[in-house]
């Protein structure tokens, strides 16, 4: 038995209504308990003067899979320049926008993150994704399965097979790939690019299947609602990065008709066409729509200035963007009747009008969306910036004078198009605990994470209460993972591994025969080869399966 | 699925790990140690799966039979004393590669896969300029015009056309066409391509690069440069195809293979402005791709990476096995899929290898290991880099996996 007592810290646990309450936290055998075991075997951590929070959770970060490996291959200079510091723990990885599995876990946990979710698992690549996630230390993980461009689904919808068949297929795919939620990337658009379409608006028909993104989106929203998944559809919408896409985003919100939808990296979907450069901020309109529609949640996908690499399943958009690749190289792939990927290195420059305005649009969204339970802290790692910029982003949100100082450095042309310096809001520590802990756990259905109540996982972080919030959130004083101290004074002291989370709603077993035939005929290998088995997850540990309404 | 009959067990739908196509319809009959592949296996796979009923050989140190424990202790002594270890072969599943990475991190030394030459021709282009690639099922369903550049890859990828170019494809209107540019299909390939339109465009030896340069010119609309063969109609066909695919096996291309790959990827790039096209770069025997993928996610670099003083660095020329052996003093040879002989080397050799491996010179330490996909479960990657295939375990001949052996060796090093 192991027991830890964290004493004297100010506990910030919005999920349980505690805001800066000074009390002790007890952890026994990896879980938070109500009181001390009282057997003297307890390790005591003095947290006086510190802030105690649950481990942070990133709901959208590209940390694994084929596209990450392509990014590493393309960004070999970055891999050479940034190697993991040498020390007792491995030190063989590296990278920043292209971090290796080991470096990913280390950099996250030093900041107090103990869970991170990969938002773009292409079915054909799911096995790779799981093996790679298993090599990321410290973090609990899980993946969102990309659907909405897969030929089997589009064929089901186009042939009028009905909602029930779609639901069964979605459930079959979740079980086969051991994923946590459903992601849609440019619904129907990636598929349309395979038939040589170059753009696809919400109400434009796919050239082969003659169904619209709206139809795909609403069908899949219904499917996850009826299957009872906690996480709503995680949507990367149509027209990413296209000036004027604010209208598509507003139309998409309207299309949900009140059913839950999570819109990811919404910054990239909040662009207007005003001004002499025909590029402007749509943040006010988008935030207003989010505020009015309680069924909508968003994560921002904040950009930060510097070199990064953009990795997306949206090959249609990435092909459009190939000309702006810096350095001048990019890789695209059509993938296995499933989806695609496009990897384009990119440097966001503060002197660029467009990039400066993107930066401001992201912050405007953060400050204008009122409900902290429906907005999440992301940079769409590595697409907007590496996740290591989170502490800087937190300071921008919490410290208006600091934010104004940064804003003042931008080109005048960009400042003229932003209302950022008129926004006086500063995020409170409580709000930060919501957007990085409580709300992510809630929207993912992780009932034992993101809070410090009895029964919660022993993922606990102690921060020094530093008025420089960037310094405070860069290195935690202590991080405990499942009750074990893994970070002390910002340094890793022990390496441990987390678990993988999934859902497995039940489906009508007649779907098995249909998919057997589909795999034999169309894909050219067997459905049973495609399906992941429990013994393949984390050396035989299997996944942590979360309940859904239609459970097996 | 298994059948029990006549004292043996027949396993169906076995996944084949050898060439990188990942066929999963092989049947294996296992009786004791004896294995015979049946239906589904191509000739090469059948030969590689075949095992006799004889007991497996024991481990050896200097030719003397020893226990696994003694062999690992002897290997640990050699590794500890080595100045410059060279990890070669790397024919193992992903877990084996993971274990070898950890071992090499600890001991230092360079790491390469024995069949990586073609892969690095592809990486030279993909890393420097990039490309648009595709996967097997996309070709199968979308590709109306497949262009095979250079020698017919089906020599190494036996069932290639069965898998990717059946006569009909879901989205193909009319007949599928395969053009062999600078190569010719084998008889076996022709029979797989029954029902598909085949054209061969002969190219004089050493002029493939020139032919591709002229093709590039034609596709970008430049006036035709004189020279044989006439490519105008072929270029027009590519531009008119809905989803043209340029395929090659880089390991089979000659000395200017890097440039041929680069040229092909540029052609695909230009085609994608108006229509759709993609590359299908074939490489991947004995989980080469899986080894490279595991390197990228764990280390950040592709294969041909060396660990020195706790740091990793990649150099595709200096860290090839061939180059590394020039200054290395110990070769740690790992080859579990087939009895591949280690390269000639005057220094000491530790071999964790297929039990049937014949050595030109007895290695200092030999540990026979099990084959992923026969003796134990494992993970391998397909040639298209996206799909990875789960390998099964079908017999227990008492052979340890490379992962187990590499871990055991690492634990013996202080």
State which residue of chain A sits closest to B309, comparing Cα positions. A86
**Kind of pairing between the strands at A113-121 and A484-488:** unpaired
Whether residues B387 and A526 touch (CB distance < 8 A) is answered with no
Whether residues B379 and A131 touch (CB distance < 8 A) is answered with yes
Whether residues B126 and A73 touch (CB distance < 8 A) is answered with yes
Whether residues A335 and B129 touch (CB distance < 8 A) is answered with no
∠ at Cα A121 (A116, A127), nearest 5°? 100
| Omega cis (within 30) before A414 | no
**Kind of pairing between the strands at A544-546 and A500-503:** parallel
State which residue of chain B sits closest to A318, comparing Cα positions. B132
- Mean pLDDT, range A142-158, rounded to an integer: 98
State which residue of chain A sits closest to B165, comparing Cα positions. A524
**CA distance to partner chain B, nearest, from residue A508 (Å):** 22
Whether residues A127 and B379 touch (CB distance < 8 A) is answered with yes
3-state SS assignment for residue A471: helix
- Cβ(A383)–Cβ(A312) below 8 Å: yes
Q: How many DSSP H helices and E strands does chain A contain?
A: 20, 26
> Which has the minimum average pLDDT: A292-306, A438-452, A511-525, B226-240?
B226-240
Q: State the Cα–Cα distance between residues B130 and A78, nearest whole angstrom.
A: 17
Of B134, B243, B312, the CB nearest to A92: B312
- In order of B99, B111, B353, the CA distances from B381 in angstroms are 17, 18, 20
Which residues are paired to A375 by β-bridges? Answer: A298
Whether residues B301 and A79 touch (CB distance < 8 A) is answered with yes
Task: Using an 8 Å CB-CB cutoff, list chain A residues near B377.
Answer: 535
3-state SS assignment for residue B186: coil
- Mean pLDDT, range B8-27, rounded to an integer: 97
- Mean pLDDT, range B76-95, rounded to an integer: 98
Q: What is the pLDDT of residues B107-138, one digit of tens each?
A: 999 999 999 999 999 998 888 899 999 999 99
Whether residues A79 and B137 touch (CB distance < 8 A) is answered with no
**CA distance to partner chain A, nearest, from residue B302 (Å):** 7
- Alpha helix locations (H) across B202-318? 208-219, 232-240, 257-274, 288-299
Of A101, A124, A328, the CB nearest to B386: A124
State which residue of chain B sits closest to A121, comparing Cα positions. B386
- Mean pLDDT, range A154-176, rounded to an integer: 98
State which residue of chain B sits closest to A332, comparing Cα positions. B132
Instruction: ipTM value, please give it.
Output: 0.97
**CA distance to partner chain A, nearest, from residue B138 (Å):** 5
Q: What is the pLDDT of residue A2?
A: 82
Whether residues A208 and B171 touch (CB distance < 8 A) is answered with yes
Q: State the Cα–Cα distance between residues A453 and A54, nearest whole angstrom.
A: 10
Of B138, B300, B310, the CB nearest to A86: B310
> What does the block give as tokens for B150?
């250079």
- Mean pLDDT, range A387-410, rounded to an integer: 98
Stated length of chain A: 552
Whether residues A529 and B136 touch (CB distance < 8 A) is answered with no
Q: What is the pLDDT of residues A250-289, one digit of tens each?
A: 999 999 999 999 999 999 999 999 999 999 999 999 999 9
Question: Which secondary-structure segment (H or E) carries A317?
Answer: helix A315-320
Q: What is the pLDDT of residue A37?
A: 62
- Cβ(A50)–Cβ(A114) below 8 Å: no
Q: State the Cα–Cα distance between residues B300 and B289, nearest whole angstrom.
A: 15
The radius of gyration computed from the CA coordinates of chain B, to the nearest angstrom, equals: 23
**CA distance to partner chain A, nearest, from residue B341 (Å):** 30
Q: Please report the DSSP string for A255-287 in residue order.
A: HTTTS-EEE-SGGGG-EE--TTTT-EE-HHHHH
| Burial class of residue A411, CB neighbours in 10 A (0-12, 13-18, 19+) | middle
Task: Using an 8 Å CB-CB cutoff, list chain A residues near B379.
Answer: 127, 131, 536
Whether residues B386 and A337 touch (CB distance < 8 A) is answered with no
pLDDT tops 70 at residue A464:
yes
**CA distance to partner chain A, nearest, from residue B132 (Å):** 4
- Cβ(B72)–Cβ(B408) below 8 Å: yes
State which residue of chain A sits closest to B297, comparing Cα positions. A100
State which residue of chain B sits closest to A90, comparing Cα positions. B105
The percent of residues above 70 in pLDDT, for chain A, comes to 98
Q: State the Cα–Cα distance between residues B160 and A229, nearest whole angstrom.
A: 40
**CA distance to partner chain B, nearest, from residue A411 (Å):** 32
Phi, psi for residue B98 in degrees, rounded to 5? -55, -45
Q: State the Cα–Cα distance between residues A31 and A10, nearest whole angstrom.
A: 19
Q: What is the pLDDT of residues B98-112, one digit of tens each?
A: 999 999 999 999 999
Task: Using an 8 Å CB-CB cutoff, list chain B residues near A333.
Answer: 132-135, 278, 386
Task: Using an 8 Å CB-CB cutoff, list chain A residues near B307.
Answer: 92
pLDDT tops 80 at residue B5:
no
Question: Which secondary-structure segment (H or E) carries A81?
Answer: helix A76-81
Task: Using an 8 Å CB-CB cutoff, list chain B residues near A525.
Answer: 22-24, 387, 389
Task: Using an 8 Å CB-CB cutoff, list chain B residues near A319.
Answer: 132, 272
| Burial class of residue A210, CB neighbours in 10 A (0-12, 13-18, 19+) | exposed
Task: Using an 8 Å CB-CB cutoff, list chain A residues near B127.
Answer: 73-74, 76, 329
Q: State the Cα–Cα distance between residues B95 and B290, nearest whole angstrom.
A: 10
- Mean pLDDT, range A108-129, rounded to an integer: 98
Q: What is the pLDDT of residue A84?
A: 84
Q: What is the pLDDT of residue B310?
A: 78
The better pLDDT of the pair A20, B77 is held by B77
**CA distance to partner chain B, nearest, from residue A391 (Å):** 25
Q: What is the pLDDT of residues A224-245, one digit of tens each?
A: 999 999 999 999 999 999 999 9
DSSP letter (8 states) at residue B62: T
Q: E-assigned strands of A10-95?
A: 10-13, 18-22, 25-28, 31-33, 43-46, 50-54, 56-58
CB atoms within 10 A of CB B229: 14
Question: Which secondary-structure segment (H or E) carries B92?
Answer: none
CB atoms within 10 A of CB A312: 27
Q: State the Cα–Cα distance between residues A340 and A311, nearest whole angstrom.
A: 11
Whether residues B297 and A64 touch (CB distance < 8 A) is answered with yes
Q: What is the pLDDT of residue A1?
A: 64
Whether residues A333 and B299 touch (CB distance < 8 A) is answered with no
- Cβ(A361)–Cβ(A269) below 8 Å: no
- Mean pLDDT, range A54-75, rounded to an integer: 97
Of B138, B170, B300, the CB nearest to A79: B300
pLDDT tops 50 at residue A552:
no
Q: State the Cα–Cα distance between residues A128 and A293, nearest whole angstrom.
A: 37
- Cβ(B313)–Cβ(A80) below 8 Å: yes
The CB-side HSE value for A473 (13 A sphere, CA atoms) comes to: 23
State which residue of chain A sits closest to B290, comparing Cα positions. A128
- Cβ(B84)–Cβ(B386) below 8 Å: no
Phi, psi for residue B87 in degrees, rounded to 5? -95, 115
State which residue of chain B sits closest to A209, comparing Cα positions. B171
Q: What is the pLDDT of residue B229?
A: 86
Please report which confidence band the pLDDT of residue A550 belongs to, taking 50, 70 and 90 as the band edges.
low
Average pLDDT, chain A: 96
- Mean pLDDT, range B214-226, rounded to an integer: 90
State which residue of chain B sits closest to A133, comparing Cα positions. B297
Q: E-assigned strands of A67-187?
A: 113-121, 140-147, 181-185
Q: State the Cα–Cα distance between residues A171 and A550, nearest whole angstrom.
A: 9
Residue B30: closest CA among B352, B392, B369, B339: B392
Task: Using an 8 Å CB-CB cutoff, list chain B residues near A102.
Answer: 298
Phi, psi for residue A154 in degrees, rounded to 5? -60, -35
Task: Using an 8 Å CB-CB cutoff, list chain B residues near A135.
Answer: 98, 297-298
**CA distance to partner chain B, nearest, from residue A415 (Å):** 36
């Amino acid at each position: 038995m192991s027991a830890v007592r964290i004493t004297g810290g100010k506990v910030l646990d919005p999920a349980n209504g505690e805001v800066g309450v000074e009390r002790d936290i007890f952890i026994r055998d990896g879980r938070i308990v109500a009181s001390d075991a009282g057997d003297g075997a307890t390790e005591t951590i003095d947290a006086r003067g510190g802030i105690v929070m649950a481990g942070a959770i990133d709901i959208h970060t590209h940390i694994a899979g084929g596209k990450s490996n392509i990014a590493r291959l393309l960004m070999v200079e970055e891999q050479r320049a940034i190697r993991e510091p040498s020390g007792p723990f491995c030190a063989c990885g590296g990278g920043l926008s292209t971090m290796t599995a080991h470096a990913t876990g280390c950099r996250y946990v030093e900041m107090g993150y103990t869970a991170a979710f990969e938002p773009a698992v292409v079915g054909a690549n799911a096995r790779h994704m799981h093996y790679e996630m298993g090599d990321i230390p410290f973090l609990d993980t899980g993946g969102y399965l990309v659907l909405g461009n897969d030929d089997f689904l589009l064929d089901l919808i186009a042939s009028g097979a009905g909602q029930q068949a779609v639901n069964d297929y979605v459930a079959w795919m979740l079980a086969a790939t051991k994923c946590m939620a459903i992601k849609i990337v440019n619904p129907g658009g990636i598929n349309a690019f395979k038939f040589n379409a170059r753009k696809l608006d919400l109400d434009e028909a796919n050239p082969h299947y003659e169904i619209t993104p709206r139809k795909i989106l609403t069908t899949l929203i219904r499917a996850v609602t009826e299957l009872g998944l906690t996480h709503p559809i995680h949507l990367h919408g149509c027209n990413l990065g296209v000036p004027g896409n604010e209208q598509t985003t507003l139309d998409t919100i309207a299309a949900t008709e009140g059913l839950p939808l999570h819109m990811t990296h919404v910054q990239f979907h909040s662009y207007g066409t005003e001004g002499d450069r025909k590029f402007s901020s749509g943040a006010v309109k988008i935030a207003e729509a989010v505020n009015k529609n309680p069924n909508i949640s968003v994560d921002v996908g904040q950009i930060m200035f510097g070199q990064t690499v953009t990795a997306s399943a949206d090959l249609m958009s990435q092909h459009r963007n190939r000309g702006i690749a810096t350095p001048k190289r990019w890789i695209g792939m059509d993938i296995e009747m499933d989806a695609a990927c496009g990897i384009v290195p990119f440097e966001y420059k503060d002197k660029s009008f467009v990039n400066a305005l993107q930066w401001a649009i992201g912050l405007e969204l953060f400050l204008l969306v009122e409900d902290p339970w429906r907005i999440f802290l992301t940079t769409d790692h590595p697409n907007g910036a590496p996740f290591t910029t989170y502490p800087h982003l937190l300071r921008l949100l919490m410290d208006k004078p600091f934010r104004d100082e940064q804003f003042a450095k931008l080109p005048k042309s960009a400042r003229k198009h932003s209302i950022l310096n008129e926004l006086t809001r500063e995020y409170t520590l409580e709000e930060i605990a919501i957007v990085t802990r409580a709300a992510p756990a809630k929207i993912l259905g992780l009932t034992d994470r993101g809070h410090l109540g009895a029964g919660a996982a022993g993922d606990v972080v102690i921060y020094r209460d530093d008025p420089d919030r960037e310094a405070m959130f860069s290195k935690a004083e202590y991080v405990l993972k499942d009750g074990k101290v893994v970070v002390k004074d910002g340094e890793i002291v022990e390496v441990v591994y987390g678990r993988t989370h999934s859902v497995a709603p039940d489906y009508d077993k007649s779907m098995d025969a249909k998919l057997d035939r589909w795999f034999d005929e169309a894909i050219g290998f067997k459905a049973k080869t495609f399906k992941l088995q429990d013994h393949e997850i984390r050396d035989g540990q299997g996944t942590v399966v979360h309940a859904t309404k239609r459970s097996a | 699925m298994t059948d029990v009959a006549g004292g043996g067990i027949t396993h169906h739908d076995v996944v084949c790990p050898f060439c990188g196509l990942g066929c999963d319809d092989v049947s294996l009959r296992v009786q004791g140690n004896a294995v015979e592949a049946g239906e589904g296996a191509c000739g090469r796979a059948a030969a590689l799966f075949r095992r006799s009923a004889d007991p497996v050989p024991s481990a050896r140190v200097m030719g003397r039979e020893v226990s696994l424990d003694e062999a690992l202790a002897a290997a640990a002594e050699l590794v500890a004393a080595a100045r410059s270890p060279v990890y070669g072969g790397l024919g193992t599943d992903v877990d084996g590669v993971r274990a070898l990475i950890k071992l090499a991190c600890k001991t230092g030394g360079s790491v390469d896969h024995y069949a990586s030459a073609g892969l690095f021709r592809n990486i030279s282009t993909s890393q420097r300029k990039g490309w648009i690639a595709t996967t097997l099922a996309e070709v199968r369903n979308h590709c109306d015009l497949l262009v095979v550049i250079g020698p017919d890859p089906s020599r190494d990828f036996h069932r290639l056309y069965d898998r990717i170019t059946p006569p009909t494809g879901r989205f193909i209107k009319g007949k599928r066409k395969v053009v062999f540019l600078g190569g010719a299909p084998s008889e076996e390939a022709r029979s797989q391509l029954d029902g598909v339109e085949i054209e061969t465009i002969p190219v004089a030896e050493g002029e493939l690069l020139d032919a591709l340069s002229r093709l590039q010119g034609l596709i970008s609309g430049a006036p035709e440069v004189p020279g044989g063969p006439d490519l105008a109609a072929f270029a027009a066909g590519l531009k008119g195809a809905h989803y043209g695919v340029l395929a090659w096996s880089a390991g089979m291309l000659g000395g200017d293979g890097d440039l041929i790959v680069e040229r092909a990827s540029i052609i695909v790039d230009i085609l994608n402005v108006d229509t759709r096209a993609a590359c299908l770069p074939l490489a991947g025997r004995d989980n080469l791709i899986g080894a490279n993928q595991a390197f990228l996610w764990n280390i950040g670099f592709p294969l041909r990476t060396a660990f020195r003083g706790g740091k990793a660095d990649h150099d595709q020329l200096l860290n090839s096995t061939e180059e590394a052996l020039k200054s290395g003093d110990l070769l740690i040879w790992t080859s579990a899929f087939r009895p591949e002989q280690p390269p000639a080397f005057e220094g000491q050799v530790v071999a964790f290898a297929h039990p049937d491996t014949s050595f030109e010179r007895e290695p200092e330490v030999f540990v026979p290991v099990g084959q992923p996909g026969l003796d134990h479960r494992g993970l391998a990657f397909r040639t298209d880099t996206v799909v990875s295939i789960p390998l099964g375990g079908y017999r227990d001949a008492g052979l340890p996996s490379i992962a187990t052996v590499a871990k055991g060796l690492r634990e013996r090093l202080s």
